Amino acid sequence: MTIHAGVIATWNDDRGYGFIEPEGGGKVFLHIRDFSRRHRRPRAGLAVRFELSADSRGRPRAVRVQPREGYRRTSRAGRQVRMAGALCLGFYAGIGSLVLMGELPLLVPAWYALFGLVTFALYAKDKAAARSARWRTPENTLHLLSLAGGWTGALVARQLFRHKTSKVSFRVIFWLTVAANLLALGWLLSPSGSALLDQLWMLSREVEHYLW
């Protein structure tokens, strides 16, 4: 097939698609699955070479798309995933230590683990939905889950799936939910939160008694 050259005119990283403007003009659809996996993710303004195909409705579509030069994949994305994982492990190690010291009931880390897994799964589902133009999980739902304690799963999922990492407003609200959740945890450990903490201890003992 003929190799064409052009520039990525628009790119929506959350949805995983954009449009290439070929040399000579026009507009060609580009999906992330047709972009070289040996390189970093595409971006607007990137010069590329590609082969031309057509979708089921006869519209032009770029396939076997590669950057023209100097855009090899780097380990940055991997470092970000590892950093997110390290932060989460550090957090779980911290609350685990508080459990061992008798400052927190086991119910608290169990809560964080459960909500972290649920939130991670919803991010994965939403990323898949974005790629296939299916029904999306509302952003407010993702934020509420993070606020409730699922931010650990969200932190890893955002970097692993490269999902919701470009939208500034989403990132700001996400980190606000993390801060609010940690403040709530700090309050729980303070004298002001002792009454609620005592109730959690009682509930935790009842759950442990029921399970064991």
Domain ranges of the chain: 3-67, 76-211
Average pLDDT over residues 127-155: 90
Instruction: Give the whole-angstrom CA distance, residue 40 versus residue 147.
Output: 31
| Helix %, strand %, coil % of the chain (to 5) | 55, 20, 25
Are 62 and 30 a contacting pair, CB within 8 Å? yes
- Which pLDDT score is estimated for 187? 92
The kind and range of the H/E element at 109 are: helix 107-132
Nearest to 185 by CA among 49, 83, 92: 92
**The pair of three-digit structure tokens given for residue 66, joined into one six-digit string:** 């590669």
* Residues in contact with 81: Cβ distance below 8 Å, sequence separation at least 6, in sequence order: 156, 159, 160
C-alpha 116/C-alpha 122 separation (Å) is 10
* Inter-residue contact 50 to 64 (CB < 8 Å): yes
Q: Which CATH code is given to the segment(s) 3-67?
A: 2.40.50.140
Record the tokens describing residue 90, joined without a space: 């550090």
Question: Tell me, what amino acid is at 70?
Answer: G
8 A C-beta contact, residue 139 and residue 145: no
pLDDT, tens digit (0-9, with 9 covering 90-100), for 61-77? 999 998 887 655 555 66
In sequence order, what are the beta bridge partners of 11? 18
**Higher per-residue pLDDT: 154 or 202:** 154
Res 201: pLDDT: 80
pTM for the full predicted model: 0.66
